[in-house]
Amino acid sequence: MNTPSIELRLWRQFVTLAEELHFGRAATRLHMTQPPLTQAIAHLEKLLGVRLFDRTKRSVHMTAAAQALLPQVLDMLSRAQALPDQARAAAAGEAGRLRLAFVSTAGFSLLPEWVRAFRQHHPLVQLELLEATGDMQLQAFGRHEIDAGVMLHSPGFAPVGLERRLIATEPLVLAMTEHHPLATTVTLRLEEVLKQPLVIFPRRILPSLYDAIFAMYHAAAQSPQVAQEAIQMQTIVNLVSAGLGVAWVPESVRQFRRPGVVYRAVAGTKGNRVPLCETSLVWPAGDAPPCVQRFMAFATPPLAQ
């Protein structure tokens, strides 16, 4: 049997009578007369199908059912009273939920400090983190599973249907095994490295940066010798340590210290420079949701904070 919905007004009247155990005093507190209160309690008992109060001419006592119900009703009324403040806090981005996806490179340097500061200043926002490549983030946006993402891309690239805010720009560096003949050189020349076997991410997960890297090879009349593809930057570096090839990685990946791997800057030529890469906070086109706007205050490069 479906129980009809019960107005909060009836529950407040029930609580007041439970506290006073006197219809006259309870009615006075509720700014009403006694007969309407008596009728309201009788109506509530009818809706519930249980007796809440035993009445005599001299006393009113709660039944066992009322005693069991009272703490839950008090909690419900307390939560209901808090709803307006919670709604205003959510509208201001001070409460609610923020579902944030991020690429692994952001986790090396940028994300931990952002998350720490954001949680400290906005403890009422439930921050849900999801590590995901760019292509997976686009799919998640399409399914409305995330509110914002931290993406890696080539300079100026903007995914279709997303707004973005630039967070950081950094150069690509070359990861190689410490036993590589070029590992002893602090800054390499581009022509020295373009014929080396390459470990790289698949184009589908980061097409703009993949194309920028391949364009650098083609500008030097070279074809990349792709030895292996891998999705995560940590995996790419691990494959480099196994001697499968060299890898172009964002400079922030230097913080991933894999034994046996070194990172080297590469000097481009006048007409062919090593690509830069950018990290951006992205969200669906239009105004950023309030929680995303709050997060923007913390999503800045470390040196800019």
The string of pLDDT tens digits covering residues 241-272 is 999 999 999 998 998 888 999 999 999 888 89
Is the dihedral angle over the CA atoms 98, 101, 106, 112 positive or is it negative? positive
pLDDT given for residue 97 in this prediction: 86
Query: Amino acid letter at 98?
Result: L
* Mean pLDDT, all residues of the chain: 89
Both tokens assigned to 18: 């439970």
pLDDT given for residue 86 in this prediction: 64
pLDDT given for residue 304 in this prediction: 40
Which pLDDT band, with edges at 50, 70 and 90, does 305 fall under? very low
Question: What is the architecture of the domain spanning 8-91?
Answer: Orthogonal Bundle (1.10)
pTM: 0.69
Report in angstroms the alpha-carbon separations of 5 from 8, 48, 186, 260.
Answer: 9, 10, 74, 67
* Burial class of 39 by CB neighbour count within 10 A (0 to 12, 13 to 18, 19+): exposed
pLDDT given for residue 27 in this prediction: 93
Domain ranges of the chain: 8-91, 98-166+281-304, 168-277
Q: Percent of the chain scored above 90 by pLDDT?
A: 66
For 168-277, CATH gives 3.40.190.290
Could you check whether 8-91 and 98-166+281-304 share the same CATH topology?
no
pLDDT given for residue 303 in this prediction: 42
Which DSSP category does 165 fall into? Answer: E
CA angle, 192 then 196 then 199, to 5°: 130
Residue 216 CA to residue 229 CA, distance in Å, equals 18
Q: Is the confidence at residue 92, as pLDDT, over 80?
A: no
98-166+281-304 homologous superfamily: Periplasmic binding protein-like II (3.40.190.10)
